[in-house]
Amino acid sequence: MPEAVALVAHSGGPTPVINASLGGVIERARQHRRIGKLYGARFGIDGILREDFIDLFAQSERKLAAVSRAPSSALGTSRRRITQKDGERLLRVFRAHNVRQFFYTGGNGSMITACEIAELARQSGYELQVIGIPKTIDNDLAETDHSPGYASAARFFACAVRDLGGDNRALPGQVEFVEVLGRHAGWIVAATALARQEPDDAPHLLYLPEIPLPLDQLLQDVNSVFRRLGRCVVAICEGQLDERGEAFGADVRPGSRGQLAMNLGHRLSLLTAQKLKLKTRSEKPGLLARASLAFPSQLDWDEARLCGQAAVDAAENGKSGVMVTLVRGPGPGYSAATACAPLEKVACGEKRFPAEWRHPAGGDVAPAFFDYAAPLVGSIERYERLK
């Protein structure tokens, strides 16, 4: 019988801090005597099926420290969902390499896969511990206060809106749409509100995709801001739909929950130019927000690493079928600790943007959201202005 092996794999889109979680796993696994070998799967499930592994204990400390600071996924990742056949093959690979601990880093869909793998192992009597490590910029994972990756993407967009707001202020007479990631969840777009430091700062309008947005309302809001300030910056989530559930005529691709627009900012910019006869533009930084470490949230990085470490601890404590979660301490002041939640509860849940954090008047968030998000995102540096 070969030595017992622990295996870590990534799933879904990379984040700026997914490698910090990987670093946390490696670091803690080295400290535990029971783990003799730690493999990383190249390109997630695909790599496991191909037996394409990296021996992570063979990497130098210097390299691992540098990798854990890099954005994107150092192992490579995959969006593959497993078929029955895949599942059988996975178990054969696990048996062949004597994989006894499986750390799976991902979001909602990935935790469903983790559940399935745990169940397959149980059914065939193969002893395997499955531990989920949370990762999603969309912040919609259930059972955890927030997910590693969210704060950095939120920070990226808050800084982007600050900067585009500065441009719009310096060269007014234009309406600027900033298309924001987050799929159908408002967590990231809401965080652009953190860019505001004075009442007339961008974003002048931000919409939560949880609430349908009639085009007429958008146009009325934009017109009102433009009449007042002579400029306007709108933060719009890629998953925003109108009152008929349509993406304003944008090109769409199928998403996890209905269609996801590919060019929503541009589409709204065209419609606004046509209907209001205003000069408009749109920007779509898109995946840069998950691929760039230009605006790191140090807290996010620290917590991502912590979640990797906690996953190994959970396995060492005999746990299985759980995902590591972040639990916020009681205030005042921010603190968080890790815990574990059953994978089933995560897999069938979804962290929705609380209705009470929506601004009653629409086009904004309520102040309560700031208490939640500000400590995660960190302070947004303000650029000095002439008066």
Nearer to its own copies among residue 133 and residue 336 (C-beta): 133
Nearer to its own copies among residue 57 and residue 126 (C-beta): 57
Q: How many residues does the chain have?
A: 387
**Residue 86 annotated among the catalytic residues of the structure:** no
Tell me how far apart the alpha carbons of residues 184 and 138 are, in angstroms, rounded to a whole number: 9
* Active-site residue, selected from the candidate residues 138, 145, 221, 300: 138
**CB within 8 A of 78, min separation 6: which ones?**
10, 11, 43, 44, 45, 46, 47
What is the nearest approach in angstroms of its own copies to the Cβ of residue 272? 13
Tell me how far apart the alpha carbons of residues 285 and 95 are, in angstroms, rounded to a whole number: 43
Nearer to its own copies among residue 67 and residue 219 (C-beta): 67
**CB within 8 A of 255, min separation 6: which ones?**
183, 184, 239
- How crowded is residue 106: how many other Cβ atoms within 10 Å of its Cβ? 27
What is the nearest approach in angstroms of its own copies to the Cβ of residue 112? 19
* 288 sits in which H/E element: helix 288-291
Nearer to its own copies among residue 66 and residue 337 (C-beta): 66
CA separation, residue 105 to residues 40, 95, 318, 378 (Å): 11, 21, 19, 24
**Applying CB under 8 A, which residues contact its own copies?**
10, 13-14, 40, 43, 54, 59, 63, 66-67, 69-79, 159-160, 163-164, 166-167, 169-172, 176, 251, 262-263, 266, 269-270, 281-288, 290-295, 383-386
What is the nearest approach in angstroms of its own copies to the Cβ of residue 372? 25
Backbone phi, then psi, for 211, in 5-degree steps?
Answer: -115, 125
Residues with a catalytic annotation lie at 138
